[in-house]
Structure 1
Amino acid sequence: MLLPDRFLTYLKEYPDGADITHVSAVGGGSINRVYCLSSATNKYLLKLNSRITFPEMFACEVSGLRTIGDTNTIAVPAIIACDDFEDQSFLLLEWVETRRPTRKSSETLGRQLAAMHCCSSTDFGLDADNYMGSLIQSNKKHPTWSEFFIHERLMPMVKMAVDKGLLNAGDQQSFGILYSRLSGLFDEEPASLTHGDLWSGNYIIGADEKPRLIDPAIAYGHREFDMAMTTLFGGFSQEFYGAYNEALPLAEGWEQRLDLWNLYPLLVHLNLFGAGYLGQVRDCLQQYL
C-alpha cells in the first residue's frame, strides 16, 4: 500500500468510509499528492498535503466547492471528508470517471457557467481568504471590481514579485499607471460568483457528459475574469463560448480585455515558477498603458 494502514483505518470513521482494497497514485500537480482509493463497491479521490505548509488549504477548497454546489447551477464532486491526520491534511472526494469533452458537454459547461455567474453579491470579494495555487489569496471586500482587482489581486502579487527581485522599479511604476486607468478600461457589472482559477485542468466531464468544476479559488468578481482564464492555456471550445454568450452575453470588447484580467494569473505563475513568465506579464501590461 502507498498509504499507511493506520490512515486507511482512520478513514473508516467517516460515514462513507469503506475497506480500501487498492491504492494507486494519480497526477496531482506540484502541491498535493493525489491517489485513487478503491473498495469493493466504490472509488474515491484522495488529496494529501502538509498541514503546516498549507494550513486550511483543503478547508478553503471545500468551502469553494460547497459554495458552487449550493448554487444548483453546475456540479462539483461530492465531498466525503476533510480533516487532518498526524502531520498531513487530506480531502476525500468521490471519484468521477471522465471522458473527453463533446460538443454537447461543452455547450452544457458554457450554459451552466453562465448560470453560476448570475449568482451575485453586493460586494466584490468573499468573507474569507483562500488559495490561488499554493499562494494565499486575499478576498477583502470592495464596492467595485476595479478596487478589488487592484488591491486584492494585482498589488499583493506585484509586491511579492518585487520582493523576490522578479519585477523592477520600472515594472512597479507601470502597474501604478494601470491602477490609475483601470476603471476606464471596462464597464462595471454586478459581482458574479467566479471560480477564480478556471483553466482547462479545473473542469472535468464525467462519463455521463455532465460537467463538474474542481479546485476552485472562488470570489465574487467580474465574470470576464473567469472567461479570460479559460483562454490562458486553451482547452475550451468554440461551442463553450457560443453557449455562454447565448445564455449571458458578454459586454462589447470583452476579447480585448482578456490580457488585462490575465495579468493576475500570470503574476501568480511568475511568483510560483520564476522569470519564465516575466515576458508575458510585461507584454500584457503594456497593452493597457
Structure 2
Amino acid sequence: MEAAINHGLIQIDDHSQIKSITNVSGGDINQAFQVITDKRTYFIKGNHGVSSDFFRKEVQGLTLMRETNTVGVPEVFYYDQPTDHEDGVLIMEWVEGVNSPQTLSHLGRDLAHMHLHTSEHYGFHEDTYVGTLTQPNDLYSNWLTYYREKRLVTQFTYAIERGRMPKQRREHMEKLLDRLEKWIEPHPRASLLHGDLWSGNWLAGPDGKGYLIDPSISYGDHAFELAFTELFGGFSTSFYDAYQEVFPLPANYEDVKPLYQLYYLLIHLNIFGETYGGSVDQIVNRYGS
C-alpha cells in the first residue's frame, strides 16, 4: 500500500517528504490512513479487492454533493483504479474539527438545503455500491416504481439467493411489494440523496461544520434519507428540528418510515446475516401480513 500512496502523491505533485502514515478507521471495505507530508495532511483510502470503478463512483457522489454548496464535503485530490493484484487509492483532504453543540443542527439545515437540489428523474444513470453490494440503478419517472424495483426487489432477490428468505418472510415480503402504493408516493420531489447516511458517514470539520463522506448517490424522496438516519441513531433532536425548518417531512412520514428503513435492513440481512432477520420480519409482518 505504501507504494500506491507514494504513486498517488506524485500524481498530485506532492514530492515532499512523508512524515507519517498512520492507520485510521475507514470502514470494513477499505484500508484507511492519515498521511502527513511536509506539504499537508491527507486522508487516503486504499483497496485492491473491489471493482475498478469503486473509487470513481465515490468521487462522483462527493462531487455532486460538493457542487450544491450546501453540506461540507472533503476535497478530492486524486483517485485511481484498483485491480485484483494492485492497490488503488483515493486521496482527499484530512478533515478535522470540533463537534460543537451547534454542529448537528447546522448539519440538519445543510442537508435539507442539499435535498432541495433536484432532478427530473428518480434514481441514477449508473449503478453504484452500497457497502460491498452493487446497487443497480436506472432513471425513472415514478419514485414508487423505482423504489420497488431497484431498491426493495433488488435486495429481496439477493436475500433469496443467499437463503435468507424463509417461507413466511418471503410471502409477507411479496404481499408488501404488491401493496406498496398504499404508502409510497409516486411523485415526491426527486432530491439529491447521500444514500448511506448513518452516524459513521458524517464528521465534524473546521468551525464545527458537518461533513458528509462515503455516499451512495441517487435522486429520490428526501424522507427515504431521513428514515435511515433514524435507524441506527447518531443524530440529535436538534438535527431533525433544523432540517424540518428548511424542508418539512411529509404528513405520513411515520407510516412510510419503516418501509424506507426496510431497504437498509435488507442490505444488512444480506451482508451480515440473520442478526437482522427479526427487524426485517417486524416490518414485513406489519405491512405484508
For normalisation by structure 2, the TM-score amounts to 0.93
Q: Which amino acid aligns with 1:263?
A: L
Match of 2:123, SS? coil
The 5 A counterparts of 1:249-264 are 249-264=248-263
The 5 A counterparts of 1:94-173 are 94-100=93-99, 102-173=100-171
Equivalent residue number for residue 240 of structure 1? 239
CA 65–287 in structure 1, closer or farther in 2 if over 3 Å, else same: same
What are the superposed Cα offsets for residues 181-221 of structure 1, whole Å, 9 maximum, x if unpaired?
11221434121111110101111111311111100001001
1:9, distance to aligned residue in structure 2 (A): 4.7
Question: Are the aligned partners of 1:16 and 1:80 in contact in 2 as well (CA < 8 Å)?
Answer: no
Structure-1 separation of matches of 2:222 and 2:260: 10
Structure-1 separation of matches of 2:116 and 2:15: 36
CA 183–25 in structure 1, closer or farther in 2 if over 3 Å, else same: same
1:7, distance to aligned residue in structure 2 (A): 4.3
The 5 A counterparts of 1:260-271 are 260-271=259-270
What are the superposed Cα offsets for residues 224-246 of structure 1, whole Å, 9 maximum, x if unpaired?
11101111111101111001111
Structure-1 separation of matches of 2:160 and 2:94: 41
What are the superposed Cα offsets for residues 16-48 of structure 1, whole Å, 9 maximum, x if unpaired?
564322100011221100000001241100101
Equivalent residue number for residue 65 of structure 1? 62
1:178, distance to aligned residue in structure 2 (A): 1.3
For normalisation by structure 1, the TM-score amounts to 0.93
Equivalent residue number for residue 197 of structure 2? 198
Match of 1:84, SS? coil
Question: Are the aligned partners of 1:229 and 1:262 in contact in 2 as well (CA < 8 Å)?
Answer: yes
Percent identical: 36
1:6, distance to aligned residue in structure 2 (A): 6.7
CA RMSD of the aligned region, Å? 1.7
Structure-2 separation of matches of 1:281 and 1:15: 49
Structure-1 separation of matches of 2:129 and 2:267: 11
Question: Are the aligned partners of 1:12 and 1:19 in contact in 2 as well (CA < 8 Å)?
Answer: no
CA 17–242 in structure 1, closer or farther in 2 if over 3 Å, else same: farther
Equivalent residue number for residue 79 of structure 1? 76
Question: Are the aligned partners of 2:127 and 2:136 in contact in 1 as well (CA < 8 Å)?
Answer: yes
- Runs of 5+ in structure 1 lacking a partner? none
1:15, distance to aligned residue in structure 2 (A): 3.8
Structure-1 separation of matches of 2:13 and 2:216: 27
Question: Are the aligned partners of 1:195 and 1:226 in contact in 2 as well (CA < 8 Å)?
Answer: yes
Match of 2:46, SS? strand
Aligned residue pairs total 285
Q: Which amino acid aligns with 1:252?
A: A
Structure-2 separation of matches of 1:9 and 1:126: 32
1:10, distance to aligned residue in structure 2 (A): 4.8
Q: Which amino acid aligns with 2:280?
A: V
Q: Which amino acid aligns with 2:150?
A: E
Match of 1:251, SS? coil
Match of 1:115, SS? helix
Superposed structure 1 runs of 4+ greater than 6 Å apart: none
Match of 1:193, SS? strand
Match of 1:287, SS? helix
